[in-house]
């Protein structure tokens, strides 16, 4: 828990520093405009790709296949969209990496490793109804 708190605090300071640097380089107005633009574009991309991923989950369930990969992609797109909606350039870059399909595939093995590790410890429980 302490690591998460320190990490978020470091991210806030890094975001502020990045905003100051970019603001000095291109001006305050253009910096604010860029922040708003990336937020709007991020939300729109996440909405479009998120709906596609949601449909992939439904198609997998209709075909009787487990929707594991589609669920992970939907989760990553949601997190990416949320990060892009936050003001700041570092969170925008991380969010864009989660939203884009090419870079999202790079994160999947890490997420699968994390889930397997949690399942072995018994921290993840799958409930069937």
What confidence score (pLDDT) does residue 51 get? Answer: 84
Q: What is the pLDDT of residue 87?
A: 87
The total number of residues shown for the chain amounts to 129
Kindly report, residue by residue over 50-63, the tens digit of the pLDDT.
788 888 888 888 88
Q: Give the span between the Cα atoms of 59 and 53, in whole angstroms.
A: 10
- Token match 């990496």: residue? 97
Half-sphere exposure of 47 (CA within 13 A, CB side): 7
Neighbours of 31 (CB within 10 A): 19
pLDDT in tens, the chain (129 residues): 788 899 999 999 999 999 999 999 999 999 999 999 988 888 888 788 878 888 888 888 888 887 778 888 888 888 888 898 888 899 999 998 888 878 888 888 888 888 888 778 776 666 555
């Amino acid at each position: 828990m302490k690591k998460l708190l320190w990490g978020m605090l470091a991210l806030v300071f890094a975001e502020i520093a990045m905003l100051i640097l970019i603001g000095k380089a291109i001006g305050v107005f253009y910096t604010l405009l860029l922040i708003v633009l990336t937020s709007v574009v991020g939300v729109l991309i996440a909405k479009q790709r998120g709906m596609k991923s949601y449909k992939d989950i439904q198609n997998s369930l209709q075909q009787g296949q487990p929707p594991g990969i589609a669920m992970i992609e939907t989760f990553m797109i949601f997190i990416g969209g949320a990060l892009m909606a936050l003001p700041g350039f570092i969170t925008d870059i991380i969010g864009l990496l989660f939203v884009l399909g090419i870079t999202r595939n790079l994160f999947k093995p890490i997420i699968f490793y994390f889930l397997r590790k949690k399942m072995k410890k018994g921290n993840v429980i799958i409930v069937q109804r």
